[in-house]
Amino acid sequence: MKKYLLLTALSFASAFCVTAQKWVANAPSGKEYLRKNENNRTIIPNGRYVTPIGKQLMVAPHPYGLALSADGSVAVTANSGINPFSISVLKNILSENPAVRQIPDGPKTDKGILEACFMGLAITPDNKTVYVAGGQTNKIFLFDLETGKNKLTINCQATENGNKYSHGYIGDMVLTKDGSTLYAVDQIGFRMMVIDTKTNKIVSNIPTGRYPFGICLSPDEKRIYVANVGVFEYKPFTDLDKDNLKETAHEWPSTKYGSKEMKEGIPEKGVPALGDPNALEAFSVWSYDLTGTKPAVKAKIKTGILVGQMVEDFPAVGGSSPNSLAATDQFVFVSNGNNDCVSVIDIAKDTVVNTLHLNPEPRLGSLRGLIPFGVTVSPDQKRLFVAEAGINAVAVVDIPAMKVIGHIPTGWFPSKLKVSPDGKKLIVTNAKGLGSGPNGGKDYKLGSEGSYIGSLMKGTVSVIDIPMDSELPALTKKVLDNNYVFTQVSANSENPVPVYPGASESPIKHIVFISKENRTYDEVFGQLTSGNGDSTIARFGLKRNFENRKKTAALKGVDVMPNHIALAKQFAISDNYYCDSDVSADGHRWLVNTYPNEWVETGTAAAYGGGRNMLDTSSAPGNLSFYGSAGSIYPEDYNEAGSLWDHLQRNKKDFFNFGFGLEMAANYSDSTMKHIGELYMVNYPVPAPILDKSSKIFPSYNMAIPDQFRADVFMKEFNEKWAGDGKTLPSMLTLMLPNDHGTKERPDAGFPFGESYMADNDLAVGRTIEFLSHTPYWKNMLIVITEDDPQGGVDHIDAHRSILMTISPYIKRNYVGNQHYSFGSIFKTFWHILGIPYLNQYDATASDMNDLFTDKPDFTPYNAVAIDPRLFDPQKALDPFDEKFDWKAFSESEEMDRTETMQKRRAEDDDDLRKKSNVKKPVGKKPVKKRP
C-alpha cells in the first residue's frame, strides 16, 4: 500500500526509493499551544487551524440537525450535546443581526421542555411550527416557533404488518412543500414513517435498510430516498439465560469480522448469524416510489466502495457509510463518509452513474479523512455543497460539469448545510464550533455550563456569502493551509525516528503502547516548572491534601502519582499534546487509529447527552447498534483502510494485545471477574487480527479490578511468551491500564479515596516500566503512554490537553517537548519507526515526535517508586484476586527528586474541580454496562 506522503521535485516516490529531496506533511500549528478564536483563528486538537468565513452564530453543543424555512427567514438546529437536549431557533438568519433563541434557554434549565432530540427537523410552510425528532423517546415534538412552547407530541409507537414499533429512535425527517406529509426515519426500528400532518398520525410504516440515517425528497416529490448507514442487525447469543447471565454469557467475543462464522453463525454454540456486510440492507440507499397509495421500494442501491473491494493493493475493511442525501430533478447525491466521495445516482435509472472524489490535496493520494457529511443543492441546481467534517470545509461541486471546483473554510466539524432560497448564502452548522478552550486554572472563570468538556463544545452556525468561482482558488488554498504544511526533509537524519517510513533503519524494534483513562496534563503534571502547567489544579501531583466524599477521612502532603512525575523527570513528556477525542466513546476509536466518522460522532454526542442509554431493554431490531461508550470499534465505524490491527497485519508486523478494543457494548460484569473483566452477550464481531493476538486472561475495562492485577497478568504472560532463548518480542504490544479513570470509593478493597485509583494506576505504570526496562528488549524498546480522552479533568490551556509520556533509551532525559502532538503524531511516529505506510490523513499530516528522541542512548533502567499505603494498599486491593504483592521490588528503588515547591492550594478551585470533574456521565444498568 504505497501511501507514503513523499514528494520528489517532479513526482511521488516510493518510500524506499532514494531521491534528491523528499517532503513530509505536518500539523500547521508547530509549537503553538491551542487557542480558541484568537484573531479569528482557532487551533484544534490535531494542530490544524479553523478560520471560518462569514458570520458566526453560537448555538448549543453539537448541532447535528439543520432546517431552513422555505422563505429562508428562519433556521433551526437540533443540538445533541450534554443535557439538556435543545434546539436553537435563528430568526432573520439572513439579516445583519439574526436573533438566536435556545429551547430550553440554558444549560441548567431543563424542566421537561424537550425530552430529547436527534438531528431531524422540519419547518412548516407558514413558519409557525417546527417538527423535532425525539430520538430515543420514540416521539416527534411540535414546537411553536414564536413562543418556544411545545404544541403537540406525536407518539411513534405503532404496529403494522406484524412489526411492533414499541421502541424507536427518531432521526432525520423531511416535510413536503405543502406541509401535508412528514417523512421521518426510525433508526432502530429500520422504518420510514409517513405522517399526515393534518391529524398528526402515522399513516404508514415502511421498512428501510439497517440504521436509516438520511432522507430526502426529489424536487417533484414523486420519489423519496433513504440512506442506510448500518451494517448488521446485531443479535444476542441464543444460549443466554437472563436469570443467570454470569454463567451463560460468553467469555470471549465469538466471531471475527468477515469470517464464515460471523456470516453463518455457530448454532451449536449459541452464536447467531449476522450475514454479509455487503447485503442490500447495509451501506445502501433505498429509493421509494410515492405515486401509489403508500411508498413502495423501487430500488436498493449500493454506493461507494464495498467491503472487501480492492483499494490500491488492499481490500477495503470498512464500508462506504452513506449518510446524507440531496436531490435535483435528475440526480441524487449521496455522501459516503468513509470513502471521501459523493455517489451520483441517476433518478431515472436508480443506479450510480458517477463518483465525485473530494480530496483537495493530491499529495495525500487515496488516504482518507475528509468525512463527507451533509449535502445540499443550490436552488438553480447548478451547485452541490458538501460538508467535509474532517478538514473543516465545504466542497463546492459544479453539477453540470460533475467536478469539484473549490473548498470553503468553516468551523470545526461542519455537519449540515442549506442554501438560501435566493441562492446567495450558505448556512452551515459546525458541530464542534470553535472548540472548548481551557476549563480550569487559577485564571479560569467558571461559566453556567460548568467545566465539563462536552458542555463547553458550543456549536456554531456560519452564514456565508456564497463565493464566486473566481474566489474559490484562494479559499481552497486557505483550507489546505489550515490543514497541512509540507516540509522538505533529508533522508540522512541520525534521529532514531526516520524522517519518513523507510528513510533509514531505526534502532527501535519493539513498541509498547499503553493507554490510560480520562486525565489532563495539568492535573498530573501541572507542578512541573519545566512545562507549561498550572500547579493550582495539579490535584494528582505531589504533596496534595484531600479527603473522602463523606469527609470522614483525610490525608495531607501525599504524593498521588509519584511514578508519573519520576518518569517525566527521567524521560520525556510533552506539554503541547492533545487528545483528538472528547470522551471515551470516540477516544477508543482514536486509540486504534480509527478516526470517528459521522456515525460515531453523532452517536457519541447523543449517548453522552443521556440519549442512548435508555434503550437497554428495547426489542427494536437496531437497538444493539447503539454502543454508547464501550471501548471497541464496530463494523459501522470501521474506516476504509481499517484500524491499527489491520494495518500491522497487512504490513507483516507482529503484535500482541492486552485489553485494547475488547470492551464491547451489551456486556455483563461484576466485581468477581478476575480475568477478562466482562462477559459478552451479543455477537459483535471483532477485527479479525485481534481475536487470535489478544490475551485471553487480561482484564479489560472493569473498575473493580486493580491495575496491579493487570500489571501482574501482563508481566506473567510476557515472561511466558517472550522471555528466554529463541523467543522474540513482537514489533508492537498494546496494553490498557485504565484505573486512573476513577470511580466510587471502596475502602474495603483498598481504595479509601477517589485519589486511590490514581495511585493504583501510577504504581501499575511504574512497575510495568520497571519490568520492561529490565528485560533484554529494553535496548531496542520504545514505550508510549497516553490517555483515551481528557474528560475527567481540567486544564488551563485547553480541555483536550492530555498526557503523553515517552520512555526509551533513545528518549531525551528530563525533557518537556512543546512541539504540537496529537493521536496522529503517535501513530505517525510508529509508522516511521516500523517502516510502514500511513493509514489515513490524520497520521499522515500530524507532526511526528522526533523532537523527544536522541541518537545517544542511555540504557539506564527505571526503578518504580512506592505509593503511600494510606492512600492505596496494593495488597488489600489484590487479596480478592489471590495475588501477593511483592514489595521487594522497591527495596532498592531510587527515591525520586522531591525538590518541587507547591503554591498554596486554592481551596475554592479544588472544591470546584472535585465537583465539576465528576460530572454525571452515562452509566448503563446491569446487566448491560456502558461506561463514561
pLDDT tens for 311-333 read 988 999 999 999 999 999 999 99
Segment 548-554 mean pLDDT: 95
With cut-offs at 50, 70 and 90, classify the pLDDT of residue 553: very high
With cut-offs at 50, 70 and 90, classify the pLDDT of residue 198: very high
Helix (H) / strand (E) containing 759: helix 755-773
What whole-number distance in Å separates Cα of residue 541 and Cα of residue 743?
Answer: 19
CB 185 within 8 A of CB 226: yes
Residue 593 has pLDDT above 80, yes or no: yes
Q: Residue 425 half-sphere exposure, CB side, CA atoms within 13 Å?
A: 21
Residue 492 has pLDDT above 70, yes or no: yes
Segment 371-381 mean pLDDT: 98
- Output the CA angle 703-718-821, nearest 5 degrees: 65
What's the pLDDT at 161?
A: 84
Residue 615 has pLDDT above 60, yes or no: no
Name the residue among 48, 173, 29 with its Cα closest to residue 480. 48
Q: How many other C-beta atoms are found inside a 10 Å radius of the C-beta of residue 199? A: 9
With cut-offs at 50, 70 and 90, classify the pLDDT of residue 131: very high
508-595+639-916 is a CATH 3.30.540.10 domain: no
Q: What pLDDT digit, counting tens, does each position of 720-729 carry? A: 999 999 999 9
Domain boundaries, the chain: 49-235+274-483, 508-595+639-916
Residue 896 has pLDDT above 90, yes or no: no
Segment 254-275 mean pLDDT: 96
| More confident site: 215 or 609 | 215
CB 22 within 8 A of CB 489: yes
Single-letter code of the amino acid located at 382:
K
Residue pointed to by grid coordinates 493551509: 481
Residue pointed to by grid coordinates 430529547: 116
What's the pLDDT at 437?
A: 96
Taking each helix axis from N to C terminus, what angle separates 755-773 and 562-570, rounded to the nearest 10 degrees? 40
Segment 435-463 mean pLDDT: 93
With cut-offs at 50, 70 and 90, classify the pLDDT of residue 610: low
Residue 222 has pLDDT above 80, yes or no: yes
Name the residue among 722, 667, 731, 729 with its Cα closest to residue 700. 667
What's the pLDDT at 609?
A: 61
Residue pointed to by grid coordinates 456565508: 464
In DSSP terms, 91 is beta-bridged to 74, 99
CB 620 within 8 A of CB 491: no
| More confident site: 18 or 607 | 607
What's the pLDDT at 903?
A: 25
Angstrom CA distances, 802 to 204, 579, 748, stand at: 50, 6, 31
Segment 458-476 mean pLDDT: 98
- To the nearest 10°, the Cα dihedral for 793, 795, 798, 799? 10
Residue 666 has pLDDT above 90, yes or no: no
In DSSP terms, 458 is beta-bridged to 61
What's the pLDDT at 921?
A: 32
Classify 49-235+274-483 by CATH class.
mainly beta
Segment 295-320 mean pLDDT: 96
Percent of the chain at pLDDT exceeding 90: 79
CB 90 within 8 A of CB 448: no
What's the pLDDT at 819?
A: 98
With cut-offs at 50, 70 and 90, classify the pLDDT of residue 670: confident
CB 801 within 8 A of CB 34: yes
With cut-offs at 50, 70 and 90, classify the pLDDT of residue 350: very high
Residue pointed to by grid coordinates 493476538: 693
Segment 352-381 mean pLDDT: 97
Segment 323-351 mean pLDDT: 98
Name the residue among 520, 644, 472, 473 with its Cα closest to residue 917. 520
| More confident site: 817 or 164 | 817
What's the pLDDT at 908?
A: 35
| More confident site: 515 or 669 | 515
Angstrom CA distances, 219 to 330, 347, 569, stand at: 9, 11, 65
What whole-number distance in Å separates Cα of residue 368 and Cα of residue 390?
Answer: 9
- The pTM score is 0.93
Contacts of 344 (CB under 8 A, 6+ apart): 331, 332, 333, 334, 352, 353, 354, 355, 356, 402
What whole-number distance in Å separates Cα of residue 726 and Cα of residue 575?
Answer: 40
Segment 469-491 mean pLDDT: 95
Length, in residues, of the chain = 932
DSSP string, 621-666: TTGGG--TT-SS--GGG--TT--HHHHHHHTT--EEEESTT---SS
Segment 470-499 mean pLDDT: 93
Mean pLDDT (the chain) is 90
